[in-house]
Amino acid sequence: MQAAPAAAAAALTALSVLLTLDCLSAHRPPNNQIQQQTDETAQKKKNQPHIVFILTDDQGFNDIGYHNPTIKTPTLDKLAAEGVKLENYYVQPICTPSRSQLITGRYQIHTGLQHSIIRPRQPSCLPSHMDTLPERLREAGYATHMVGKWHLGFYRKACLPTRKGFDTFFGSLTGSVDYYSYESCDGKDLCGYDLHDDEGVAWGHEGKYSTTLFTQRARKILESHDPAERPLFLLLSFQAVHTPLNPPESYIYPFRDMVNVPRRNFAGMVSTVDEAVRNVTYALRKYGYYRNSVIIYSTDNGAQPFTGGNNWPLRGRKGTYWEGGVRGVGFVHSPLLRRRRRVSKALMHITDWFPTLVGLAGGNISQSQGLDGFDVWPAISEGRESPRKEILHNIDPLHKSPIEKKNQDEENWVKTLKTKVLKKVKKKKKVLKKPPKQKLAFKTKTTKKPQTFSHHASKPKSKPLFKKKLKPRLKSKPPPKAKKTKAHTWDRPLPNHRPHPKIGGTSSGSGTSRPKSPPPIQTRLKTKFRRTTSQNQNLSQSSRPKSKTLKLHSKSKSKRTFFPYQNRSQPGIPLIKSHPTLQFGLESLQPVWDTSVQAAIRVGDWKLLTGDPGHGDWVPPQMLPTSLPGRWWNLERSILYQKSSVHKNIWLFNITGDPYERHDLADQRPDVVQQLLARLAYYNQTAVPVYFPPDDPRANPSQHRGAWVPWVEEEEDEEGKYQGVYKKSNNKMKKKKKKKCMLCNLQSFFLKMSEGTVSSRI
């Protein structure tokens, strides 16, 4: 009897266990579904390529073997020949702007870094709220590493590379470091050690050449990482070929026949980069990365001819917005390219790498608001048309040419545009007729020039003014002087007027020749400008009549504020009509842009520069033994260029037909000038205030054991501390004026440099 209840309890227990297992199996996905999800995850990891981005410093257009055979770069030439050469690729003219746009994918007008570079003592860096390329790649599952030069600010720990998305960092934080001692100076007397490992100072590496040291660290990263487990992103940012020019002597020897010593040393430094790239690509093959990798090679800006670099045949140099300063050397090498061994003419910019690489990695760029870059991988890999149609090179409201130059160039441009419009609408100029004697207000000078009249004069009669019967009256009793009244500028005759040069006329190296400068047409063009952060860069003529279509002013803000925008250069955004004056008359001929402001923009084939774009010389290869500018600097300086107008503020070039910028078309195509000026005004509406704070004495390396390290505590709100931008004191300006001969000092400097290098020649 007792066995029966026990058997029943056992049966109930077994039944409950079976029911529990059935419930669990019902909620658990089938084995084939689990296997499918696992396979999808593995396939996604397999499709994510390893990305190696190699960034050089100050390598010019003529400083690579496939552009110039005298520069020996066999590894780079081979990689570029087997990949895709980017021959319509643009960067920024100096270090910090290029690197900031690579990391953020935004124009520098949208990060507050429009002006100059970040200097070692400046409390400035990338905006704290803005996402970065390594952050988006890390979210996609990548291991992110950086080796080399940062130069994006380090005044607080939040600015360091390890706080901006990189898992590890090894390199320098400032812009110019000695290749052996790793000493970086901000001025002559303020120097400190600058080599860091993650967030600490990497002492004890003195005597090791930085290019070699960075390559060794890159190979160590590749060796320690498992390519099958996790995709890799490596930013290898070489300090080379930036000054100082001191490569190992073994790399200089192959160029011993070069008589120009700076060029010889520079070529040796390019060879060190070529060897470093060879070692990195060898490691990619050795450790199993290569078959699923993308190698990108790019410079950060153009070369400086005074220090051995060369941009021939492009115009300009580093620090300028001519093609020599912004046209970058670059190529992509990858087994994943669908069309290889070709040259790409697709328009690309350094901001495009952000969306391109995030998209290639399978990441999500929808969370990155305000990107100015485009995904150009189809254009690179398949040869499709580039989605990019225009490039805003920059708008720098703190870099302005003198007001006199601005007014004169605007007067010439307005006069040209007026002439074109008058021809289009077929309005004939009418000679003003003689008013009644009581209201006569013309000048008594006998000349063939048209005379100026007041708007208060009554309607003239049909006969012309200049008749002999007026002479007795003029001799006996001159007419009373008329009260000065403000006449409209278009009604005022132009003194010393000369016919506008015909379309298709010859042009000099720097632009078409202009007639002698007439007196100012509009006194309203002269305005005062304040270089303050609180402005939204009042770049339109503030004293002119306000335009109804363009509002160029915004509310002042002390901190770096940012506006929502997305790809302002999208093809879908229509350009402003170039000739509104042909339909609406002369009232809308007011310029829409302050042409004294340094700015540059590329739209389609056209490129416009305003303000002071920098030295616009064509510097040939350094073939002479001396580096003094007097002997070889002027080889391409034509007489026409030397006699060009000093008041010029507007340049226009068709870059597709004239890639070397030798024919200025600003006078011949005022309609295009008007359209591109409107685009500059449009971009300026989205700009944030410039953030360029003064130097902070707390950054002195002597206060930090002789090294450059972060000096501001995280609790301090340094980013919103400065209401204005950094302005040099009057005392410094006075000291600069005391310099008697800048050219003499420059020649003396390069003479000493040449003598020092020649004394130690091989």
Q: What distance lies between CA 506 and its chain's CA centroid?
A: 31
Check residue 197 and report its DSSP letter: E
Torsion angle defined by CA atoms of residues 309, 314, 320 and 321, in that order, rounded to the nearest 10 degrees: -150
Contacts of 647 (CB under 8 A, 6+ apart): 404, 405, 408, 409, 517
Cα 650 from chain centroid (whole Å)? 18
Preceding amide of 355 cis, omega within 30: no
- Give the span between the Cα atoms of 592 and 408, in whole angstroms: 16
In order of 172, 181, 708, the CA distances from 704 in angstroms are: 16, 18, 7
Q: Which residue, among 81, 47, 40, has the nearest Cα to 64 in the 3D structure?
A: 81
- Asked if 676 contacts 690 with a C-beta cutoff of 8 angstroms, the reply is no
Q: 84 forms bridges with which residues in the sheet? A: 332, 342
Distances (CA, A) of 670 to 120, 416, 418: 43, 7, 10
Going by C-alpha positions, the residue among 109, 133, 159 that lies closest to residue 691 is 109
Q: What is the largest distance, in Å, between two alpha-carbon atoms of the chain?
A: 156
Distance, C-alpha 37 to centroid of its chain: 45
Q: Return the C-alpha torsion angle 148, 154, 158, 164, nearest 10.
A: -30
Which residues contact residue 417 at a Cβ distance below 8 angstroms, ignoring those fewer than 6 apart? 581, 589, 670, 674
Helix, strand, or coil (residue 720): coil
Give the SS3 label for residue 80: helix
Q: Determine the angle formed by the axes of helices 261-286 and 74-82, rounding to 10 degrees.
A: 60
List 50, 67, 95, 115, catalytic entry: 95
Residue with tokens 């192959």: 254
Q: Is 151 among the residues known to form the active site?
A: yes
Which is it for strands 330-333 and 293-299: parallel, antiparallel or unpaired? antiparallel
Report which DSSP code applies to 157: G
Among candidate residues 115, 151, 225, 333, the one labeled active-site is 151
**95 is known as an active-site residue:** yes
Strands (E), 621-761: 650-654
With a CB cutoff of 8 Å and minimum separation 6, the contacts of 277 are: 54, 75, 76, 79, 297
Alpha carbons 392 and 326: distance in angstroms, whole number: 11
Coil, helix or strand for 176? coil
Amino acid at 115: H
* Cβ-proximal residues to 759 (8 Å cutoff; 6+ apart), any chain: none
| Nearest one of 684, 109, 110 to 369, comparing CA atoms | 110
Half-sphere exposure for 608 (CA within 13 Å, toward CB): 28
* Residues identified as active-site: 95, 151
